Structure 1
């Protein structure tokens, strides 16, 4: 099979090579990859991993070989979250992180869901009751942010989406900056740094903030929240409550029903992965970049 691996022979360390298919093993289905999206976490791992490491977590494709102990059969369309190697031709995916993909959901859409969709879904759950509440999503044009906006709107929140450019979200206020009058009861933050610091000054008393983005450190003191005590929680998607397979299946059903539309900035052949990474670094990406085979 063909795979993408880290190598010192390329300026950004990714090259294609040939390797044997992953072995069949208990609890894992071997999936032939049709699409895989790029996550910023992977871009940070690439320079830190040893030569020969195969990146990629999001996978949408077809089961090549079923797990010996059950799960979807060969030929089944699936979406899943791999440990690594999802930018390769074949990848082994744990059954507990795999969901069947209906015919009405294409591979490109599905590839946007594992890391970004699970993060958005679990972050929204962590906020608790959002019905009728003023809810802010920062980084709303990003891979997680655009899904979080749609899920929050569907959950009954009054949503403000913070993004640097216009976004076509019905029933949502889209803003490029926050004005002095804005106050929020719930916040999903995908940006961190100065943006999150600004948000802390715009909270209603007893607000809740869930953040999952990177960014620069955020200065925080008692004075920052004086008069507006808040609960602040960091979300780590792998540690959040819930079953991966069930949550992926729920996201897929939202897409199939038209309730969730993953935003795809562009699709790129996997052979051009280095160009895709360069585009991501330049910024201005609306949603996800998806690698296709």
Structure 2
């Protein structure tokens, strides 16, 4: 079968290779991959790939071999999955606890756009707690996670201010009900909750806009610039602010994937897909994703996607 493997080259991060089809473990199903969605964080890992790296965490496709232990969906079932790696291929072995069944109403492209970004958004908002009537500031909002967070938070009753670089990148966020600004400095606080994903100088600036007793959840560093916090400067800002580190990981993912599928099916969540292309264009798409030339998610089709 064909698989995309890292090259270590910035201009062309992956290339096709002919490899053996994966052999599933007892608790894994073999999926014929119809669509996959790379994440911007994966593009950073491709800069210095480990020898054993097999990229690909977000997939949708068809079960062609059910799990030997009897768990999970049967052969012929359409699914969305979140394997630990190996999804940029014709076939992927996926733990059944990281799969969710797809209804006919959700195509493979939309499904593939759900896993990492959608699970992150769900778990991030659970960490934030009840949002009804609360003021929320979201930085780095125009990526895949940001669109899901915005739609889910607004739907939960939050008053969301979304920070994104340009008016064009903010159009969809405004349509989802967010107030859009283009710099953290112009966001009108104070905020009950800040969801910070850019790092660098933005984090301390966002922190200064948290209300006394409020919460800042740090879930990314998209700027790739380290954060510097001055303790004495912090003392002059809001009192008793909590800074909480967040990372989405922690299997099983199946229940959250099922929740995301249900939200899409109910027309309560709408994946923002900035590009759909054949997987022959994966290398170019990865570069554009890394350089922030794609709004929302990018999805690659391997052929035969519904």
| 1:141–1:285 Cα contact (<8 Å) kept | no
Aligned residue in 2 for 1:259: 268
Equivalent position to 1:247, from 241, 250, 256: 256
Query: Which one of the candidate residues 232, 239, 254 is aligned to 2:243?
Result: 232
Query: Which residue number in structure 2 is paired with residue 208 of structure 1?
Result: 215
- 2:179 is aligned with 1:173: yes
> Partner of 2:85 in structure 1?
84
Distance 1:198 1:28 in 2: 45
How far apart are 1:244 and its partner, in Å?
1.1
Q: CA deviation at 1:170?
A: 3.5
SS of 1:193's equivalent in the other structure is: coil
Report the CA distance between 1:11 and its aligned residue: 5.5
Could you say what secondary structure the match of 2:201 adopts?
helix
Structure 1 unaligned residues grouped into runs of 5+: none
C-alpha distance in structure 2 between counterparts of 1:81 and 1:56, whole Å: 9
CA distance in 2, matches of 1:16, 1:124: 38
Following TM superposition, by how much is the alpha carbon of 1:151 offset from its aligned partner in structure 2, in angstroms? Answer: 0.9
Q: Considering only aligned residues, what root-mean-square deviation do their CA atoms show, in Å? A: 1.9
> Is 1:223 aligned to 2:224, yes or no?
no
5 Å-filtered alignment, 1:152-163, equals 152-163=153-164
Q: Deviations over 1:159-214 (max 9, x none)?
A: 11111233232332122234274210011122222222210111111111112111
**Residue deviations 1:103-142, cap 9 Å, x none?**
1111111111111111111011111121110011111110
- Give the whole-Å Cα distance in 1 for the aligned partners of 2:142 and 2:270: 13
List 4+ stretches of structure 1 deviating above 6 A.
none
Give TM-score, length-normalised by structure 2: 0.89
Written as runs of structure 1 = structure 2, the 5 A alignment for 1:265-280 is 265-280=274-289
Secondary structure of the structure 1 residue equivalent to 2:295:
coil
- In the other structure, the counterpart of 1:126 is 127
Q: Which residue does 1:4 correspond to in 2? A: 4
| Structure 1 SS opposite 2:270 | coil
- The TM-score, its normalising length taken from structure 1, stands at 0.93
**Residues 120 and 175 of structure 1, relative CA distance in 2, 3 Å threshold:** same
1:223 CA displacement: 2.5
Alignment match, 1:137: 138
| Change in 2 beyond 3 A, CA 1:245/1:181 | closer
SS at match of 2:3: strand
Number of the residue aligned with 1:26: 26
**CA shift at 1:8, angstroms?**
6.2
Aligned residue runs from structure 1 range 273-292, under 5 A:
273-292=282-301
Q: State the Cα deviation string for residues 212-268 of structure 1 (Å, max 9, x = none).
A: 1113222222422533321111111114xx741111100111111111111011012
Is 1:190 matched up with 2:197? yes
Distance 1:10 1:167, change over 3 A: closer
Query: Which region of structure 1 is more displaced relative to structure 2, 137-146 or 189-198?
Result: 189-198
Q: How does 1:3-82 map to 2 (within 5 A)?
A: 3-7=3-7, 12-51=12-51, 53-70=53-70, 71-82=72-83
Alpha-carbon offset, residue 6 of structure 1: 2.1
- For the residue of structure 1 that corresponds to 2:97, the secondary structure is helix
Are the equivalent residues in 2 in contact too, given 1:136–1:160 (CA < 8 A)?
yes
Aligned residues: 291
